[in-house]
């Protein structure tokens, strides 16, 4: 497993051209590229943040699990391995631009990231190892066709006379500056991206776990907010929710306090309890202004505080048991903008709508 974790098996896939002009299976640019990849891996392995967790894929890696399996079809394995790589590292050269294999690798990687629903911005490291004159693929340029700065591994000031990359034909562990400086800059920048991606994937996995809980019909805990003035409606709602297997917190509707210190204490307890629940339901008060206040204070402010505290999805819905004048189009639109579902609870058969909402909320995966 890679440092960034599931769904990736590799942190970096190194895409490079073998530059095999004579069809002998060997070339100096291949020799340099593979040595570069070894030094890149060595620096990541030496970093305490990554260490043994870091994994790089190279078609001819010395570790069998990190290279092409000689017993597997090459195309199929490459497609799979590049799709399971978090960062695409391109060793840019005229050989790369003319290589159909390199173009296929790039297409496979971009296609798979789209399937995973992950943005590719900042996840392609272009390592310039030889001056290029041909037009770059559009995936590696911005909307105006401009090339990224990338990482320069040859002397730009003397490129016309000596275009070969630093430490030609083969960098080693003893290679110093300017090769080592550029390599460490690359490790630093890519390392930051790997850390960001790992946090995104960790958040996604936690969200998926919470979503899985919400997709189950029973065994969930809902925070049911209601005012003491609407105690009878709150009690009917709590009983109905319990009847479909939901646990309800708190155990009674909330009183409205005018004393600032008492109000803050109630709110603190509300946020803490809400953060332990799987969803939030608001029992709609009988008066429109009270409903407006609950949508903002409970449905937005306190729910956001609870989400920040617990790192849970906490979907929210309003149980409208009044209807009529309070169910205005403007108020319903406001609830939608606050990401609060409006459930008509004016009839006796409203609990299936709650179950459907919970199932739907559980299947909606947040965007990374």
User: Among 96-110, 257-271, 286-300, 320-334, where is mean pLDDT lowest?
Assistant: 257-271
**Residue carrying the six token digits 């997709």:** 215
- Which tens digits make up the pLDDT trace of 222-269? 999 999 888 989 999 999 998 888 899 998 988 776 777 777 888 888
Query: Alpha-carbon distance 217 to 233, whole Å?
Result: 23
CB-neighbour burial class of residue 319 (10 A; exposed 0-12, middle 13-18, buried 19+):
buried
Please give the residue that has the higher pLDDT: either 367 or 155: 155
Q: Got the DSSP string for 125-157?
A: EEEE-S---SPPPGGGS-TT-PPP--EE-S-GG
Highest mean pLDDT out of 11-20, 61-70, 121-130: 121-130
Q: Return d(Cα 6, Cα 262) in angstroms, integer.
A: 46
Neighbouring C-beta atoms of residue 208, cutoff 10 Å: 14
**Domains of the chain and any CATH numbers:** 10-209 (3.40.50.10140), 215-363 (3.40.50.11460)
Helix (H, G, I), strand (E, B) or coil at 249: strand
Q: What is the spatial distance between Cα 3 and Cα 55, in angstroms, rounded to a whole number?
A: 7
Kindly give, in sequence order, each residue whose CB lies less than 8 Å from that of residue 197, ignoring residues fewer than 6 positions away: 4, 86, 87, 118, 123
Q: Which of 234, 229, 264 is nearest to 250 (CA)?
A: 234
Q: What is the pLDDT of residue 348?
A: 77
Mean pLDDT, residues 177-191: 97
Q: How confident is the model at residue 68 (pLDDT cuts 50, 70, 90)?
A: very low
> 3-state DSSP call for residue 237?
helix
For 5-24, the pLDDT digits (tens) are 988 999 999 999 988 766 66
Q: What is the mean pLDDT of residues 301-330?
A: 88
d(CA 109, CA 173): 30
Is the per-residue pLDDT at 115 higher than 90?
no
Tokens 């990541």 -> residue:
44
**Is pLDDT of 282 > 70?**
yes
**pLDDT of res. 24:** 65
Contact yes or no for 85/8 (Cβ under 8 A)? yes
- Higher pLDDT: 117 or 108? It is 108
Residue 255 near residue 293 (C-beta atoms within 8 A): no
* 332 conformational bin, left if phi > 0, alpha if psi -120 to 50, beta if neither: alpha
Treating both helix axes as pointing N-terminal to C-terminal, what angle do 303-310 and 260-275 enclose, rounded to 10 degrees? Answer: 50
CA–CA distance, 119 with 197 (Å, rounded to integer): 10
Question: What's the rounded Cα separation, in Å, for the pair 141 and 160?
Answer: 24
Lookup: tokens for 115 = 């399937």
């Amino acid at each position: 497993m890679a440092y960034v974790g599931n769904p990736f098996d590799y942190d970096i896939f190194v895409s490079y051209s073998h530059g095999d002009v004579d069809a002998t299976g060997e070339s100096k640019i291949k020799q340099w590229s593979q040595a570069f990849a070894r030094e890149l891996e060595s620096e990541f392995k030496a970093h305490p943040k990554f260490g043994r967790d870091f994994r790089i894929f190279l078609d001819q890696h010395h570790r069998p699990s990190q290279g092409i399996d000689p017993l597997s079809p090459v195309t199929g394995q490459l497609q799979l391995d590049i799709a399971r790589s978090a960062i695409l590292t391109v060793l840019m050269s005229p050989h790369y631009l003319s290589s159909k294999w390199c173009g296929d690798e790039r297409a496979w990687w971009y296609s798979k990231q789209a399937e995973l629903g992950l943005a590719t911005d900042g996840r392609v490291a272009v390592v310039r190892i030889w001056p290029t004159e041909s037009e770059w693929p559009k995936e590696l340029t911005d909307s105006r066709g401009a090339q990224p700065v990338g990482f320069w591994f040859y002397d730009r000031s003397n490129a016309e006379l000596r275009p070969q990359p630093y430490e030609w034909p083969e960098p080693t562990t003893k290679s110093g500056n300017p090769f080592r400086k550029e390599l460490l800059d690359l490790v630093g920048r890519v390392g930051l991206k790997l850390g960001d991606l790992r946090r995104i994937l960790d958040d996604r996995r936690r969200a998926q776990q919470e979503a899985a809980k919400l997709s189950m019909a029973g065994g969930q805990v809902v925070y049911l907010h209601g005012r003491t003035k609407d105690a009878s409606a709150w009690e009917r709602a709590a009983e109905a929710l319990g009847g479909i297997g939901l646990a309800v917190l708190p155990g009674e509707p909330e009183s409205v306090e005018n004393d600032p210190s008492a109000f803050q204490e109630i709110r603190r307890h509300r946020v803490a309890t809400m953060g332990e629940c799987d969803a939030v339901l608001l029992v709609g008060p009988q008066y429109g202004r009270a409903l407006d206040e609950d949508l903002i204070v409970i449905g937005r402010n306190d729910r956001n505080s609870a989400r920040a505290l617990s790192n849970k999805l906490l979907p929210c819905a309003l149980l409208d048991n009044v209807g009529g004048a309070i169910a205005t189009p403007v108020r319903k639109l406001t609830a939608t903008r606050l990401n609060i579902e409006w459930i008509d609870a004016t009839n006796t058969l409203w609990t299936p709508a709650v179950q459907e909402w919970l199932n739907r909320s559980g299947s909606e995966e947040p965007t990374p």
